[in-house]
Amino acid sequence: MILKVAVPVPLRHSFDYLPPENTSPEDLQVGARVLVPFGRRQVVGFLVGWDEDGSDIPRARLKTALAVLDRPALLSPDDWEVLLWASRYYHHPLGETVASAFPVLLRQGRPASRDLPQHLCLTEEGRRAEAGKRAARQTLLLDWMRQQESGIPLAELNALDWDWRAPARALIQRGWASIVEVAPTGESPERTSEPALHLNAEQASAFDAVAAALGSYAAFLLEGVTGSGKTEVYLQLVSAVLERGGQAMLLLPEIGLTPQLLERFRRRFAVPIAVFHSGLNEPERLRAWLSVQSGESPILIGARSAVFTPMARPGLIILDEEHDTSFKQQEGFRFSARDVAVMRARRLGIPILLGSATPSLESLNNAHAGRYRHLRLLRRAGEAQPPVFRLVDIRAQKLKEGLSRPLIDAIEDTLARDEQVLLFINRRGFAPTVICHACGWVAGCRRCDARLVLHAGDEKLCCHHCGHEQPRPRACPACGASDLRPLGLGTERLERALAQQFPGVPALRIDRDSTRRKGSLEDMLEDIHQRRANILIGTQMLAKGHHFPHVTLVAILDVDAGLYSSDFRAGERTAQMILQVAGRAGRAERPGSVILQTRHPQHPLLLRLIRQGYPGFAEAALSERQAAALPPFSHQALFRAEATGEPAARSLLERLRAIAAETGSDVTLLGPAPAPLPRKAGRHRCQLLLQHDARAPLHRLLGHLLDRIDTLPETKQARWSLDVDPLDLY
Ligand code: ADP
Ligand code: ZN
Ligand code: ZN
């Protein structure tokens, strides 16, 4: 018998091994981890299958697998099928694809056990016993255990400055105490769960539609304006799934995994909730994964990579903010967690609910085509009113550090009413770059085709693409003049300008730099809720997922950046961004207003968005895409190549183009062309875009190109990657 093993290396085939001694076919299950010798290393691979008739390789040259690590496998046959599909669809090596479903410790071969914390606990007998006269330390342990419902964690005992083991052993030998493993439920036993809200009519009909579909596959798109009560619908659906004994998976953008959201779930459900966020260490990640895989945690909340987590009793997948581009992994295994989640739900035979205030055009198109059922929440829940939009034409205005007079007046009025203001600018740092006022020299990165960003707090110039940093020069490197000025506006500069304009008004800047320290974002959010800050300045970090009941004025300082971009998705992104930011305003009883500063007040996208809302915008945007045969009315794949010289990157892609031409395929090829950022960290980047109305011919061609690519001499000089359904064309 020969084992076929997928090894996590960038090779597209599996490897043959002889089974470990004494392996019978009953021990084998597809998807099980297998420890195998690979070159000079030992690696953890995954069992793809086995063959009675042997291998193309002579038996004498076959190596023997060292061990089958899982019996049974940790993945169900359906989970395995989803991974096979993902490997085929994204043309990504199977071993690496499967590995991405496992936490790092399991990929390294750790046993699938949770290493639960151990506690020293009283036994029933110990509870009843008369302690009588015992050694002092035994008495101390007995008293301590009587006070602690779930015993004393060994970690606490180990921290004592005396040896607890001898007295504990005496108690254990008498049968009064024992060491037990305690599952970390995080729940205190007396906790009650908070009751559900009474759903309004729109919420109730969305809930009913999904609840009626539990037990089989169905896909739903829940389009609900911000504050319309989507999360409440999720909560009640999760509750319905739990009542049926199932498990629910809630996927969110990492940025949306806010303490507020988690707290809402913890208050509602007195059950263990497995939360996957980037702050977990590896043992915690393993424990969370196993608690879902084993069925102990009925609820999983996580970001993109949690989509592959096996569930013992799958019941429902919910993916919130489904339009968010962070669901697409942008490196390595470039999968879309949204699309994988839909495939997974189909395979598992459970419903999937995609939610957003601003659904992606892809999902709206799926809804129009009848593949998803379209559910709508048009009104805000509770008392909150929709915000009022106002375009401020800044062409003829003298701006004070990016602030127009009407905006300054509106801020003053809002502060006078003792309400909060949120100013949005999607550029961190002090200014996007510095310019020489004498000769026009602009600070650029030596290794990238990009400007260096001024960070004034530390007087540094930084490249946001390669991480290069240097002190801000005192004189112009080109002409020697000393008149170097910041050019443009970033969050830091805006913060300083506001401090001058509104002295004494506490302001808070929230961006990646100001929240680098762990816990600082939570502290700042708390300051906002306690109204210790009245002006909030933020990047998109502030635009998503947070509720700010006292914010009644929201302003976007520069909406124009997204209006004239070469990326065909820029309009969609801009519309989504505007509505997400606007959604922060006036969520409580006071209505909110939104000011958009623009130099293009007649721009059709802006006007349509303001007059007709997102649905009107989306309808127009979809017909434009259809007319131009762009996604979702066609399908794309992007080959990227990079090398130390531009010709090497280009010639690999030219070769691929030539091979494609030989096949006679009718897939459209665009390029090779320089990437939007043609040079990054000293490497030249080119790309080749493939496009077709139908998926099948595109994927046939991709398969053909990938069969050939590793044999091409050009790959020695250039690194390449393939992105199926690319979201960012660079
Ligand atoms: P979304 O997820 O669509 O932004 P949420 O579920 O967070 O909306 O709801 C917005 C606000 O409205 C929350 O404060 C929530 O408690 C409240 N809310 C939601 N549903 C109801 C309801 N049926 N009755 C009263 N208040 C509700
Ligand atoms: Zn100069
Ligand atoms: Zn750089």
Q: DSSP letter string over 120-150?
A: EEE-HHHHH----S--HHHHHHHHHHHH-TT
Count Cβ atoms within 10 A of the Cβ of residue 673 and give its class: 0-12 exposed, 13-18 middle, 19 or more buried: middle
What are 51's strand-pairing partners?
2
Q: Distance between CA 649 and CA 674 in Å, rounded?
A: 9
> Residue 65: which of 98, 21, 102 has the closest Cα?
21
Would strands 247-251 and 41-51 be described as parallel, antiparallel, or unpaired?
A: unpaired
pLDDT for res 38:
94
591, 414 Cβ separation under 8 angstroms: no
> Residue 250: which of 186, 150, 321 has the closest Cα?
321
pTM over 0.85: yes
Whether ligand 1 lies within 6 angstroms of the CB of 293 is answered as: no
Nearest CA to ligand 1 atom 24: 382
pLDDT for res 187:
45
Q: Which CATH number fits domain 635-724: 3.80.30.20, 1.10.300.10, 3.30.470.20, 3.30.70.600?
A: 3.30.70.600
Q: Distance between CA 374 and CA 368 in Å, rounded?
A: 8
pLDDT for res 545:
67
CATH superfamily, domain at 388-431+488-624: P-loop containing nucleotide triphosphate hydrolases (3.40.50.300)
Domain boundaries, the chain: 2-77, 118-181, 201-377, 388-431+488-624, 635-724
Ligand nearest to the CA of 384: 1
Q: Distance between CA 494 and CA 509 in Å, rounded?
A: 9
388-431+488-624 has the same fold as 201-377: yes
Distances (CA, A) of 12 to 9, 195, 429, 666, 692: 8, 51, 43, 25, 24
Ligand 1 pocket test, candidate residues 197, 232, 260, most atoms within 8 A of CB: 232
Q: Which residues of 619-657 are buried (b: 16+ CB within 10 A; e: fewer)?
A: ebbbeebeeeeebbebbbbbbbbbbeebebbbbbbbbbb
Q: Which CATH number fits domain 2-77: 3.40.190.10, 3.40.50.720, 3.40.1440.60, 3.30.420.40?
A: 3.40.1440.60
pLDDT for res 42:
93
**For ligand 1, what atom is nearest to the CA of residue 199?**
23
Nearest CA to ligand 1 atom 19: 229
> Residue 247: which of 294, 283, 210, 212 has the closest Cα?
294
Q: Is 199 helix (H, G, I), strand (E, B) or coil?
A: coil
> Residue 43: which of 87, 8, 92, 80 has the closest Cα?
8
Whether ligand 1 lies within 6 angstroms of the CB of 202 is answered as: no
pLDDT for res 188:
44
Nearest CA to ligand 1 atom 14: 227
Strands (E), 306-424: 314-320, 351-356, 373-377, 388-393, 420-424
Amino acid at 305: S
**What is the whole-number distance in angstroms between the Cα of residue 465 and the centre of ligand 3?**
5
Report the CATH architecture of 201-377.
Answer: 3-Layer(aba) Sandwich (3.40)
> Residue 7: which of 59, 63, 60, 56 has the closest Cα?
63
422, 550 Cβ separation under 8 angstroms: no
Binned average pLDDT, 10 residues per bin, the chain of 730 residues:
92 90 85 94 94 75 90 93 97 96 93 76 81 82 84 81 87 84 52 81 96 97 92 96 96 86 91 89 91 94 96 97 95 96 98 97 97 92 79 89 93 93 93 93 94 88 94 93 91 94 92 84 86 90 79 91 84 92 75 91 90 92 94 96 94 96 94 93 96 96 94 93 88
pLDDT for res 600:
92
Ligand nearest to the CA of 206: 1
